[in-house]
Structure 1
Amino acid sequence: MRAAVVRAHGAIDNILLENDFPEPEVEQGWAKVKVAACSLNYHDIFTRRGMPGIKLPLPLVTGSDIAGEVVELGVGAEGFSIGDRVLIDPFYLAKGMIGERWNGGRAEYCVAHVSQLVAIPEDVGFEVAASIPLAYATAHRMMVTRAGVSSEDVVLVMGASGGVGTACVLLAKRVGATVIACASSAEKLQLLNDLGADHGINYVAQDMRKATWDLVGKPRVSGEGGVDLLVNCTGGGTWADSVRCMKRGARLVTCGATAGFDEAIDVRYVWTFEHNLMGSNGWHRSDITTLLEYAADGSLVPVIDKVLPLDAVHEAERLMENREVFGKIVLAP
């Protein structure tokens, strides 16, 4: 079968397009899926580059957000039928994550345990479904379950133009919060405004902290000024300014650090302003099913920048690596 294969960690050129990669075999309790759509995540780049201290099986077909059609069921695989349209929940407790611990969706076919399969509603397309798990479901758990975003919140979203970022903007606006979106260009800020963001900060042209103070006021120990909820999944030295944008009692929530995880902050702000620093790790199945319901009724539909053929996998990763993307990129094998 045709597949995009990583045979050695490294740069984008280490992704090889192969026409005769072996099709996966179906084991007991597993299902074979003909891949219709596989969206990109920054995790795919980390996997391709190699992650310190984590040994991955090579060669590897990456791609963890996968939607397609069931074409074969192993013995004991119940609850689904041949021809069913399914989204794969990427994580399987007994083995890990598809596209990292075994071959993923950048190929014509992949396999998943039947417990990972989630039925796609009739009104939801493959590309939309494949955009949900790693970015949107992670954002849903982070914003709704962990941070408890509400209509009373002023929310600052850093890196708002990516997959997780656009999801956070949409989730915050869904409950009526005021959103300040940070992005790297005027074009991206206009697109975020079109999504409903109330204010925008160009962090390349502006000082993020000062721009935030101009919008909501400098935080005071008396409670005035600052934002109620700050979403920082960027890292890369941005936490120091982040805590200085938060009002007394505010929450900072994170699910990752795409620009670097080694942070340093002045902890005096944390205790003086009684900040709540919260981590959010991944998603639960309920986050995926809730978002599929939102997509089906049209109340929240993932933002898709581009749908590209598998042959364009190198360009797709380049766009994501250089942050030249707004929302999700989807590959259609």
Structure 2
Amino acid sequence: MKAAVIEKQGGVEGLVYRDFPDPEVRPGDVLVNVKACGLNYFDIFVRRGMPGLPVKLPFISGGDIAGTVAAVGAEVRGFKVGDPILVDPMTDEGMVGEEVQGGMAELVRVQHQFVIPLDKRLSYERAACIPANFGTAIRMLHTNGQIQKDDLILVLGASGGVGTATVQVAKAHGARVIACAGSDDKCARLKDLGADHVVNYSAEDFSRKAWAISGKKGVDVCVNFTGGDTWVPSLRALKRYGKLLTCGATAGFDPKEDIRYIWQRELRVIGSNGYLKEDVTAGMLAVAEGKFQLPEIRTFGLSKLGEAENLMEARDFFGKIVLIPDWSGEQA
């Protein structure tokens, strides 16, 4: 098979599009013919290398996988060759594309219990936008964050895949949302997705703006998966007993800290890592039924993975980037 392989951790020059051995199908596995694979920031972390995230090279990243069944193991029931499917990447063996060889390839092997029949109302490209984005948002806001109706929720990095899903999941629960992005155009699109207020953080201090919107009481919840220099301003924006929810650190995982806000306001900092198959399935059905919108999808041929990752790192896009195997070129 062809695959975009991480030969060396570091820059995108370590990515090589080449032949790679087909996965070995074991009795409980489903072999997936990948039709689309969504790009996430954890793919950047895997390629760069990150403390606490060892990767045995050569390695293939990519966890948001949609495709068809290419083969099934001897013990698998309920799936047949050709069935359209979506993958829950949080498997018993580890996360697909982070700990287990992933979907930036023509074929990928997945334990059968983490394969979801794809709703036929969805294309493969649209389906590949769902697992990490809506699975993460549903688990973070509901299971871990336990958000309440009428909560005022501040969402940083709201223009990316997880961000746009977070805005919509929060609104569907009856929350009020302040969505932050780095341009007026992105802010306008977030308004279209249902955000009550938007903040262009390249032009305004998001923490001060959120404090003003809250009537100088502070927000109930801040969703921060950026880290870096946004961390302390996020704490400042919270009300007494407020919650800071985090599921990543795209701008840096070792930010400056100011714990005075945490003890003085009795804040709760809550981490969220991953999601369950039920979360992915719920997200898939909600998108298929039109309850949630998918933002703009930008597609790249798999051989252009380096270009796609450069675009993600530059934050010069809105929505989701999807890789398509066996297709060269780029489509806006």
TM range (shorter): over 0.9
> What does residue 75 of structure 1 align with?
74
Partner of 1:15: 15
Correspondence 1:256 to 2:255: no
Distance 1:12 1:304 in 2: 24
Partner of 2:6: 6
Deviation (angstroms), 1:250? 1.7
Q: Counterpart of 1:241?
A: 233
Give structure 1 stretches of 5+ with no counterpart: 219-224
2-structure distance, mates of 1:217, 1:68: 48
Structure 2 unmatched ranges of 5 or more: 326-332
Give distance in 2, aligned partners of 1:91 and 1:180. 30
Structure 2 match to 1:62: 61
Q: Does 1:125 align with 2:117?
A: no
Deviates more, 1:50-59 or 1:240-249: 50-59
Q: CA deviation at 1:248?
A: 2.0
Q: Secondary structure at the match of 1:55?
A: coil
Q: What is the match of residue 88 of structure 1?
A: 87
Alignment of 1:282-293 (within 5 A): 282-293=274-285
Q: State the 1:305 CA deviation.
A: 2.9
CA distance in 2 between counterparts of 1:191 and 1:49 reads 30
Letter in 1 for 2:278: S
Of the structure 1 ranges 112-121 and 309-318, higher mean CA displacement relative to structure 2 is found in 309-318
Could you report, residue by residue, the CA deviation over 1:302-326 in whole angstroms, capped at 9, with x for unpaired residues?
Answer: 3243122213212211111111121
Contact 1:304/1:330, CA 8 A, preserved across alignment: no
TM-score for both structures, normalised by structure 2: 0.93
2:291 paired residue number: 299
**Structure 1 counterpart of 2:23, one-letter code:** P
Bigger shift: 48-57 or 109-118? 48-57
1:115 maps to 2:120: no
Between the aligned partners of 1:268 and 1:32, the Cα distance in structure 2 is 51
Closer, same or farther: CA 54–255 of 1 in aligned 2, 3 Å? closer
User: Cα offset for 1:86?
Assistant: 0.9
Distance 1:302 1:148 in 2: 24
What amino acid is the match of 1:27?
R
SS of 1:5 mapped into structure 2: strand
Aligned-residue identity in percent: 47
Q: Kindly indicate whether the alpha-carbon contact (under 8 Å) linking 1:237 and 1:262 is maintained by their aligned counterparts in 2.
A: no
The 5 A counterparts of 1:1-333 are 1-18=1-18, 20-93=19-92, 95-218=93-216, 225-333=217-325
**Post-superposition shift, 1:203?**
1.2
When the two structures are superposed, what TM-score results if normalisation uses the length of structure 1? 0.93
Query: What is the aligned-residue RMSD (CA, Å)?
Result: 1.5
Distance 1:267 1:255 in 2: 19
